[in-house]
Chains A and B, each alone.
Chain A
Amino acid sequence: MNDDGTVNRSALPAIFNPEDLNALEMALDIKDKFGGTVTVITMGLPAAAAILRDALYRGADDAILVTDARCAASDTLATSYILSCAVKQLKYDIVLCGRQAIDGDTAQVGPQLAEKLGLPQITYVEKLIELKDRTIIAQRNIGSGWQKVKATLPALLTVTADANDPRVPAAKKMMKYKTALAPCEIEQQLKTQNPNAAPEEIKTLASRKSAELEQKGVLIKQWNLDFLKADLTWCGRTGSPTKVHRIQSVVLASKETKSIEPTDAGLTDMIHELIDDKIIA
C-alpha cells in the first residue's frame, strides 16, 4: 500500500487479468472467422509490457502500452478516460474488455469507457452469437438468466469467464515475439548494459534499437499522456474523485466460542440449548 491508501503497483507482479484473456480470446476468434486485426492496449507500469508480449504470443497483431507516471493513482474514472484517449487514436469496430479485474472486482472501466467513446455497451457477454453486416448479436448473463441482444457496430463488449477457454501462447508466435520490447524496456536494458553511458547516448542507442524492432514488426508501441493529448485534469490523482479514507485488516471473530464434544450427549445438549434460545423451532 502507498501512504494514500492506493495500491503500490510496483510491488506487485503484472498479471494478465483472467477475464481480459477471455476478451482477447473472443477478439481472436472474431479475427479467425471474419478477418481483421486485433490490437491489445493496457495502461500500466513498464512491467505491464510482459502482458502485451503474452497477448502477442496468443495471436494479437499489435500491442500498445500506455505508461506515464502521471497515470499513477488513477481510479476507474481516470483509467477509463486515459484508455478512451488511447482508443480514439485507433480505428476500431469492436472494443472488448474483461468484465472485471480480480483486484478491485469493480466492473466499472468497461461501461465508463463505452460512455466516453459514445458506444453502446453489451456487458456480461457469455457468448457471441452472430456478426453480420455490421451488426452483432451477443448473449449476456443477466444474473437471473440470460438475454440475447443486437447492436450495430461500433460497440463495446465486456466478456465473462464463461465465454470461452482462452487459447495458450503459440510456439511460432513466441519465436517471433520473444524479442518484442517496449521503448521503456529497451532504455532500461541499455542502462543496465552501459552503466556509465550519458543519458543522450542511451537515448540515441534506444531510438536505434526501437527502429530496428519496428522494422521487424516486434516493437510494442508506447504512448504517454502527451502523445494522447490527454487533459491532465482527468488523469491520475487529480482525475480520480474517489479517495481512500481508511484501510483496515479484517478481523472476524465471534463473541465467545463454546466447544462441543462430538458425542451424542454433547450434541443433544447443544440442540437443546439452541431450542431454548429460540434459535431453532
Chain B
Amino acid sequence: MISVNRQGEVWVFAEQHSGRLEDTPLELMSRARHLADVLNVQMGTILLGDNVKSIASKMIHFGADKVYLAEHPLLKHYQATGYAKIISCLIHKYKPQIVLYGATVAGRDLAPRIASAAKAGLTADCTDLQIGDHETTNGDFHKNLLFQIRPAFGGNIIATIINYDRWPQMATVREGVMPMPTPDTKRKGQVITEKVQLSNQDLPLEILEEHTRPKKVDLKAARLIVAGGAGLGSKENFRLVWDLANCLGAAPAATRAAVDLGFIDHDHQVGQTGTTVRPSLYIAVGISGAIQHQSGMNQSQKIVAINNDPQAPIFDVAHYKIVGDLNVVVPKMIKAIKEKGFKELTTTAGK
C-alpha cells in the first residue's frame, strides 16, 4: 500500500510492440505533461521491452522529462504478469502520484494486474483527466487530485472518479480522445536504466502464434468523415455513404447499428465501442444520434446531419441540420460538390 506522495511524478506507460509505440500512450503525453506542470512535478514514462532504448528519445520528444527503461529478453513480447511485476516494482521504488495507461487491449490487461498488486485505485476508459480538489462529506479537504472522468452507464452520465487515500492514482484512457502532441526533437530528458530480474516463471504464457492486420481505415487521422447509420436501410444503399465520401476524399464511417446490420466493417465504427474521432467535418447520414455515437464524434469541428426525422437527437449536436430523405439529399450534395470541382481532391480514405 502506497500512501499519498505530493512530490510524486506523473507517469505514462509507453506501450510498444516490436519497437513500435502505440498511438494511445503518445496521445496521453500532452495531457500528462499538462498534469505534471499543474502539479509542478516531473513527467516520466515507463518503457519496457527488449532492445527498445532507441525509442526512449521519442518519449522525451513527446514531452517526458524522464524515461524509466527496463530491458530484458523476456520482455520482448508483452505479457501481463512479467510487465506487471516490473512496473509494480518501479511504482514501489519511485512512488509516482499518477500512472496512466492507454485503454488498449494490453493496457486493459496490464493496468488492473498492477492495481491489484499495488492495492491502488484504477479507473477504466477515461475520456478526460483534470487536476482538482475534493471535499469529503466529513469535511476533509484533498487538494490537487487526479479527476478521472469517464462516461458511465451507456454514456448517459459522466462520472468523475478520484482516489485520495491510497496512491498512485491510476487510469486507462480511451484511444483517440486526446490529440496527438507534436514532437519537439530538441527536447532533452533523462533515460534511467533499471536493473531487471526476471525468470521464466514470471512469464507463464507461451505465445504460439500472432496475427495482426492493419485497420481498413484510419478514422482518427481523417480530416473529413462521412458516416452512415441504420437509416440507410441496406448494404446496397450504404453505397451513398461511400459515394459521398469518395467525392469529398473523406473516410467512410458508421454507427454501431449500421455495423451490426452488416452494412460496413467494424473498423469503420465511430462511438463509444468504436473509434473516437475529431475531424474538421463530420457528415452524419441517416444517423439518429444515440448518446453512445455522439460521444465518439461530438468534438468534430463542424457537423452536418441528414435525417428525415426533425426530432432526431443528432440534430442537437449538428451545426447544419438537413431534414429530408437521404436518398434525395445525398445525391444532391454529391452534385453540388462535383460542381465545385472537387473530383481532383486527394483521397484520405483508407484502402
B337 is contacted by which of A75, A244, A271 (Cβ under 8 Å)? A271
A242 interface contact, C-beta 8 A: yes
Which A residues touch B259, using CB under 8 A?
Answer: none
Residue in A80, A149, A262 with the greatest tally of chain B CB atoms within 10 Å? A262
B156 interface contact, C-beta 8 A: yes
A147 and chain B: residue at smallest CB distance: B210
Which B residues touch A271, using CB under 8 A?
Answer: 333, 336-337, 340
Q: In the complex, which range does the number of interface residues on chain A fall in?
A: 35 or more
B27 interface contact, C-beta 8 A: no
A239 and chain B: residue at smallest CB distance: B119
Residue in A111, A141, A266 with the greatest tally of chain B CB atoms within 10 Å? A111
From residue A118, how far is it (CB to closest CB) to chain B in Å?
Answer: 10
Selecting from A43-51, A120-128, A198-206, the interface stretch reads: A120-128
From residue A4, how far is it (CB to closest CB) to chain B in Å?
Answer: 8
Which B residues touch A272, using CB under 8 A?
Answer: 340
Interface residues of A in 70-97 (CB under 8 A from B): 75-77, 80
Which residues on B are within 8 Å of A, measured CB to CB?
80-81, 84, 104-106, 108-113, 115-117, 119-125, 132, 134, 137, 145, 147-148, 151-153, 155-166, 204-215, 224, 248, 280-281, 291, 294-295, 298, 301-304, 306, 315-325, 328-329, 332-333, 335-337, 339-340, 342, 345
B161 is contacted by which of A103, A242, A268 (Cβ under 8 Å)? A242
- Majority-rule SS of A interface residues: mixed
**Cβ–Cβ contact B291 & A76, under 8 A:** no
Which A residues touch B333, using CB under 8 A?
Answer: 267, 271
**Cβ–Cβ contact B122 & A257, under 8 A:** no
Selecting from A32-40, A55-63, A167-175, A245-253, the interface stretch reads: A245-253
**Cβ–Cβ contact A262 & B151, under 8 A:** no
A-B contact pairs, 21 of them (CB 8 A): A4-B137, A106-B112, A106-B124, A113-B116, A115-B112, A116-B116, A148-B207, A149-B205, A242-B148, A243-B163, A249-B157, A253-B316, A259-B322, A262-B328, A262-B329, A264-B336, A270-B322, A271-B336, A279-B281, A280-B281, A281-B345
**Cβ–Cβ contact B205 & A254, under 8 A:** no
**Cβ–Cβ contact B336 & A145, under 8 A:** no
Seed contacts A120-B81, A123-B80, A145-B210; 7 additional CB < 8 Å A-B pairs: A241-B163, A241-B166, A244-B160, A249-B156, A252-B294, A253-B316, A257-B318
- Majority-rule SS of B interface residues: mixed
A275 and chain B: residue at smallest CB distance: B340
9 nearest CB pairs, A to B: A262-B324, A241-B121, A145-B212, A120-B204, A115-B116, A106-B124, A111-B112, A112-B116, A108-B112
Say yes or no: A77-B116 contact (C-beta < 8 A), given A107-B124, A242-B163, A252-B294. Answer: yes
Which B residues touch A146, using CB under 8 A?
Answer: 210-211
A30 interface contact, C-beta 8 A: no
**Cβ–Cβ contact A77 & B121, under 8 A:** yes
Residue in B81, B116, B280, B294 with the greatest tally of chain A CB atoms within 10 Å? B116
Which A residues touch B137, using CB under 8 A?
Answer: 3-4
Bound CA–CA A1/B58 (angstroms) = 44
Which B residues touch A150, using CB under 8 A?
Answer: 205-206, 208
**Cβ–Cβ contact B340 & A260, under 8 A:** no
From residue B159, how far is it (CB to closest CB) to chain A in Å?
Answer: 5
